[in-house]
């Protein structure tokens, strides 16, 4: 079995675990357990809270103390136990804390999977920029397939989605142990306090371009989980006006079009990065987020279905041109001995601080435009159009400011990774 195929399976399983619940859990929490918008947003903010510390710590461990593939496997096995526990919980406060523990062990695995892939490909002499995006695209395929299974089995409305994800996490954890060894980099020893604490990646903040990059990574990270948290509830809200619509009956499957688009845009990343550079690619991502939210605001399963579908398509550019390209950019800019820590720092800013801002603020926005029955806690009405337009305006402001503050000169002939 070729190493590229083995890494493809690794990427597939990594995101299959997440896809089994990430998109569908919002509908389950709101529609079945009757969590408020702020409580759902809090659950999604656990991704951010965990990312403040755990990816950096796990990256440090992988850089200095323990093989990256072993850290990856252990995180998934521990995460599986928390998903099993979460499947039994109906109280929003306890659910929050258990999912926080899950996030503490899952969120580092995204960066660790990248680190393992980069490490193994480099060991084998592959061009990482050329080879990695197609491998990573199979992660999105795994995410999509998990979404389809959860939708078509109707697990989207039950705790089975969490148990299904737990089983997949166990498989992923065991498989990670079979990967080629990715030992810690012990070739350099330093007596500096920063190095001893494993906080080497923070030296990147000495560069103005990296400070601005990570700041906007945080602000864009606030947009990443908004449609994951509320997309399914939004499409499901059309049940009264479009009860026979495929979009309403299979909202999770419909949302998977976004991930299908993601697989296509991943393949375009090497071309766009080498031709236009990280600045232009991130700018494309920001305005794709404007379209993502704005088109949701004007779309519907009837005459506006084209707007909904177009929103799904532009999501691929919005996500990939920021998340995947940003990871590759960090890999290029970071010294070789701190690359795992640098990937952890990228996660810290995007899925950490950014996700916390996005989770809590989006939940408050949704609650502000929601009317509920005080006795049953069931939703009476929700002004989705205003909600999506506010999110679109936020992304638009970022798009206007970004090109003026991020100073980075791109050379078309330069290679992204050396």
Residue 229 forms part of a structural domain: yes
**How many CB atoms sit inside 10 A of residue 124's CB?**
13
- Please state the rounded mean pLDDT for residues 201-221: 83
Whether residue 198 is predicted with pLDDT greater than 50 in this model: the reply is no
Question: What pLDDT does residue 8 have?
Answer: 92
Mean pLDDT of the 179-194 span = 63
Q: Which of 223-232, 302-311, 342-351, 355-364 has the lowest mean pLDDT?
A: 342-351
In a domain? residue 187: no
CA distance 187 to 169: 33
**Residues 108, 344: Cα–Cα separation, whole Å:** 7
Ranges 70-79, 167-176, 180-189: which has the least confidence: 180-189
Place of tokens 């688009």: 261
What whole-number percentage of the chain has pLDDT above 90? 35
User: Considering only CA atoms, which of 184, 188, 173, 181 is closest in space to residue 60?
Assistant: 184
Overall size of the chain counted in residues: 418
Domain membership flag for residue 412: no
State how far the Cα of 189 lies from the Cα of 115, in Å rounded to an integer: 21
Q: Is residue 87 part of a domain?
A: yes
Count Cβ atoms below 10 Å from residue 28 Cβ, excluding itself: 22
Report the CATH number at residue 295: 1.20.1250.20
Which residues are paired to 372 by β-bridges? 379
Contact predicate 251/235, CB 8 Å: yes
SS3 159: coil
DSSP 379: E
What range defines the domain where residue 317 resides? 3-181+201-405
Strand-pairing partners, residue 381, are 371
Distance CA 114, CA 341 (A): 12
3-state secondary structure of 39: helix
Does position 226 have pLDDT exceeding 90, yes or no? Answer: no
**223 located within any domain:** yes
For residue 411, tell me if it sits in a domain: no
Q: Which tokens sit at 65?
A: 């103390």
Q: What is the pLDDT of residue 102?
A: 96
- SS3 category, 380: strand
d(CA 388, CA 34): 22
Q: Mean of the pLDDT values across residues 84-97?
A: 96
> In total, how many domains does the chain have?
1
Instruction: Give the closest residue to 324 by CA, choosing from 343, 339, 348, 352.
Output: 343
With tokens 């697990």, the residue in question is: 155
In a domain, 302, yes or no: yes
Q: Between these two residues, 325 and 150, which has the higher pLDDT value?
A: 150
**Mean pLDDT (whole number) for 199-208:** 74
Read off the pLDDT of residues 9-43 as tens digits, 9 standing for 90 and up: 999 999 999 999 998 998 899 888 988 888 988 89
Q: How confident is the model at residue 197 (pLDDT cuts 50, 70, 90)?
A: very low
**What secondary structure does DSSP assign to 306-344, as a single string?**
HHHHHHHHHHHHHHHHHHHHHHHHHHHHS-GGGHHHHHH
Among residues 208, 205, 207, 204, the alpha carbon closest in space to that of 338 is found at: 204
Across the range 378-401, mean pLDDT stands at 90
**Residue 196 in this model has a pLDDT that exceeds 50:** no
pLDDT of 417: 45
Q: How far is CA 339 from CA 59, 62, 133, 155, 161, in A?
A: 8, 10, 18, 39, 34
pTM for the full model?
Answer: 0.75
Confidence of residue 349 (pLDDT cuts 50, 70, 90): confident
Q: Which residue reads 């371009």 in tokens?
A: 209
Q: Which of 173-187, 331-345, 392-406 has the least mean pLDDT? A: 331-345
* Mean pLDDT on 337-342: 72
Residue closest to 107 by CA, chosen among 138, 64, 66, 76: 76
User: What's the pLDDT at 187?
Assistant: 54
pLDDT of residue 277: 82
In this predicted model, what pLDDT tens digit does every residue of 265-322 receive, in sequence order? 888 888 888 888 888 888 999 999 999 999 999 999 989 999 999 999 999 899 888 8
Residue 84: inside a domain: yes
Structural tokens at position 41: 């947003």
């Amino acid at each position: 079995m070729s190493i590229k195929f083995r890494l493809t399976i690794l990427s597939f399983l990594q995101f299959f675990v997440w896809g089994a619940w990430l998109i569908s859990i919002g509908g389950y929490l709101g529609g079945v357990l009757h969590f408020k918008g702020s409580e759902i947003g809090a659950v999604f903010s656990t991704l951010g809270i965990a990312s403040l510390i755990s990816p950096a710590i796990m990256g440090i461990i992988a850089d200095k103390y323990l093989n990256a593939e072993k850290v990856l496997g252990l995180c998934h096995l521990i995460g599986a136990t928390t998903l099993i526990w979460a499947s039994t919980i109906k109280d929003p406060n306890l659910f929050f804390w258990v999912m926080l523990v899950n996030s503490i062990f899952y969120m580092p695995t995204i960066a660790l999977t990248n680190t393992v892939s980069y490490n193994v490909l480099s060991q084998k002499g592959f061009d990482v920029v050329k080879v990695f995006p197609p491998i990573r695209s199979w992660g999105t395929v795994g995410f999509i397939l998990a979404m389809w299974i959860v939708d078509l089995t109707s697990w989207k409305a039950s705790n089975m989605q969490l148990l299904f994800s737990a089983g997949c996490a166990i498989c992923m954890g065991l498989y990670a142990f079979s990967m080629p060894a990715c030992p810690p980099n012990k070739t350099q020893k330093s007596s500096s306090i920063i190095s001893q604490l494993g906080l080497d990646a923070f030296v990147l903040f000495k560069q103005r371009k990296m400070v601005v990059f990570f700041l906007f990574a945080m602000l864009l990270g606030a947009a990443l989980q908004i449609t994951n948290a509320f997309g399914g509830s939004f499409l499901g809200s059309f049940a009264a006006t479009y009860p026979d619509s495929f979009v309403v009956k299979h909202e999770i499957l419909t949302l998977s079009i976004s991930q299908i688009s993601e697989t296509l845009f991943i393949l375009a990343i090497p071309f766009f990065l080498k031709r236009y550079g990280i600045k232009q690619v991130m700018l494309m991502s920001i305005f794709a987020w404007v379209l993502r939210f704005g088109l949701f605001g004007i779309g519907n399963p009837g005459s506006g279905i084209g707007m909904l579908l177009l929103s799904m398509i532009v999501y691929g550019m919005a996500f990939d041109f920021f998340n995947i390209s940003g990871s590759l950019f960090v890999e290029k800019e970071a010294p070789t001995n701190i690359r795992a820590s640098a990937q952890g720092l990228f996660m810290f800013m995007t899925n950490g601080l950014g996700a916390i801002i996005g989770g809590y603020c989006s939940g408050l926005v949704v609650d502000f435009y929601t009317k509920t029955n005080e006795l049953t806690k069931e939703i009476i009405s929700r002004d989705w159009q205003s909600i999506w337009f506010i999110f679109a305006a936020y992304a638009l402001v970022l798009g206007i400011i970004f090109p003026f503050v991020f100073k980075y000169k791109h050379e078309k002939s330069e290679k992204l990774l050396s």
